[in-house]
Amino acid sequence: MSQIDLFKYQALGNDYLVMDLPGPLDEVVALLPTLCDRHLGLGSDGLLAFDPKAMTVRIFNPDRSEAQKSGNGLRITAAHAVLLHGAGERFELRTADRANSLRVLSRNGAEITTELDIGRPSFRAADLPAMFDGEPDQVDLDTPAGRVEAVLVSVGNPHCVVFGQPVTKERCLELGPHLERHPAFPERTNVQLCEVVDRARVRAEIWERGAGYTLASGTSASAVAAACMRRRLVDDEVTVRMPGGDLALRREANGNLVQSGPARRVYRARVDLADFA
């Protein structure tokens, strides 16, 4: 077992451990269920493994599964790149799906606010993937907690945006586990309950694939905005309110979604991995 520097960041209450590569990634991933546990470990919604030379990031959930993308994770990695590695005002971070453009909007001590081009959302079921044809405007899904209507969206990772349900933590905890692992989603999915407040504001509760209930999610906020725009319920600029805070989204002329929000470093720690084995 190794000793390693781990950094903890949070973005709207969605928190990640960050490690720099090269490093003992396999050892850390093996220990993630304990490291991420909020009672037995450091507490986190996942791990960001950042290579400062290649400007790439890999994203891991607490259950050791690897995610294609995370909006808050990318903004956290951007903050880390600025605070520790001297990244400039504009740069790209590569995830599994694409190169992601970021721009630093402001810096206040350990808090960095950035703008992230999340890309163009897709409503093709095959892009999630999901067991439906084409680009369904709505799907009805039966679960042990009841039937729901949803819009399917990919923003580099899969999302099931649910309409017509109470947007509460309690209902999210009821539906989230069933929808994440619904047979319609062979690779599982992220889940959002959403409610349109007006044409510029939406409320959302979030269940993340591989992580569970979370206070905020950048890609989830993007998926919610995209689904509401597809239904023409909101305008091209919208704020998504989550329990952890608000994220601003806008749709560009090319169809890409851009999100803006803060990320803050919480601590840096030298961790002996043997303590968590």
Within 13 Å and on the Cβ side, how many CA atoms surround 217? 31
pLDDT at 197: 98
CATH of the domain at 90: 3.10.310.10
Same domain, 130 and 245: yes
Same domain, 147 and 174: yes
Q: What is the dihedral of CA 206, 260, 116, 265, to 10 degrees?
A: -80
pLDDT at 2: 84
pLDDT at 73: 96
pLDDT at 277: 86
> How big is the CA angle at 34 (ends 28 and 38), to the nearest 5 degrees?
125
Within 13 Å and on the Cβ side, how many CA atoms surround 200? 1
pLDDT at 98: 86
Judge contact between 44 and 15, C-beta under 8 A: yes
Same domain, 154 and 111: no
pTM confidence score: 0.93
Residue 139: burial class (beta carbons within 10 Å; 0-12, 13-18, 19+): middle
Same domain, 160 and 185: yes
pLDDT at 241: 97
Same domain, 156 and 250: yes
**Range of 109's domain?**
3-119+262-276
Which residues of the chain register pLDDT less than 70?
1
Structural domain count, the chain: 2
